[in-house]
Amino acid sequence: MSEATRLPRIAARIAAWLTPRPPTTARSSERRMEASPPSDTPAGLDGMLELVREDIAAVLEHDPAARHPVEVLLVYPGLHALWLHRGAHALWRRGWFLTPRLVAHANRFLTGIEIHPGARVGRRVFIDHGMGIVVGETATIGDDCLLYKGVVLGGTSLDRAERHPTLGRGVVVGTNACVLGAIQIGDGARVGSGSVVIRDVPARATVVGIPGRVVDTRSQGVREQLDHSDLPDPVANVISALVDELEQLRVEVQALRDNRPRAGRDQEHGDFDDPEKP
């Protein structure tokens, strides 16, 4: 191929990359769980300032280490990642492809948090520490959600369709938890640290384990959301129940042995009892 034909082809390919085009992913409208969608982002400068105030207030509410709004503004990478993502997502919704991906890549480099520009993120979302968090293209994060370090909202399909999780309002996802596939996590649900969730989770439920299992359906306040040491352990509960049942059976068997009749063969001494003896 000559230089005269190669250069125009390269230029045409670069122009195709930079040409705005709408995202090719489609979102399902089916609602299987009580999962509230994210609130719309307010428009204009006043709306942007309102979002900034809400984000800072959310950090001050959920992180006892945060002492002052200026401190939150300057040294919280989760906050910076959200702001950069909102800019990238705005470009993505306008049909751009390469530019928001570059912004997301810079976001990952600066904060250690990888959020695809196609992901929808609600208001007052708090990312605590955040290093290693990965959010896929068709993921949805509702308002007031709380994500800890290492959380993965990943996909399990190669189809260009909805293939990532949908988190409802007020969902808490613990450290290093993985939520995989086009599943729905209901409002107020909690995902325990290290869990792998591959099925829908009802609203206000607590799910732990690999694979994740629902172990509680109580409503949680802010303090209970942060108390990760209070999560139940279904495996330990089953083992404890088995040990209790085994102990009860041992007591019953011992009682039967103590009350058994003496006639017949003595299993311990190997001889026969004399029925004529008093």
State the pTM of this model.
Answer: 0.71
Residues 6+ apart with CB under 8 A from 76: 59, 66
Tell me 240's DSSP state. Answer: H
Q: Which of 82, 86, 116, 100 is nearest to 21 (CA)?
A: 100
Q: Spell out, as residue ranges, where the chain has pLDDT lower than 50.
A: 223, 272
Average pLDDT, the chain: 81
| pLDDT tens per residue across span 185-241 | 999 999 988 899 999 999 988 898 888 888 876 655 554 555 555 566 666 666 877
Give the pLDDT of residue 261.
Answer: 65
Other Cβ atoms closer than 10 A to 191:
28
Give the pLDDT of residue 95.
Answer: 86
What domains are defined for the chain?
Answer: 23-230 (2.160.10.10)
Give the pLDDT of residue 88.
Answer: 92
Q: Which of 57, 62, 72, 63 is nearest to 222 (CA)?
A: 62
Number of H helices, E strands in the chain: 7, 15
Beta bridge partners of 184: 166
What is the Rg, in whole angstroms, of the alpha carbon atoms belonging to the chain? 29
DSSP H or E segment with residue 114: strand 114-115
- Tell me the C-alpha distance between 103 and 6, whole Å: 29
> Encoding tokens for residue 128?
């605590």
- Let me know if 200 is exposed, middle or buried by CB neighbors in 10 A (0-12, 13-18, 19+): buried
Give the pLDDT of residue 112.
Answer: 92
Give the pLDDT of residue 78.
Answer: 92
At residue 143, what is the residue type? D
Place of tokens 């017949």: 264
Beta bridge partners of 207: 191, 214
CA distances to 7, 241, 242, 258 from 250, in Å: 85, 14, 12, 12
Q: Which of 189, 173, 178, 184 is nearest to 129 (CA)?
A: 173
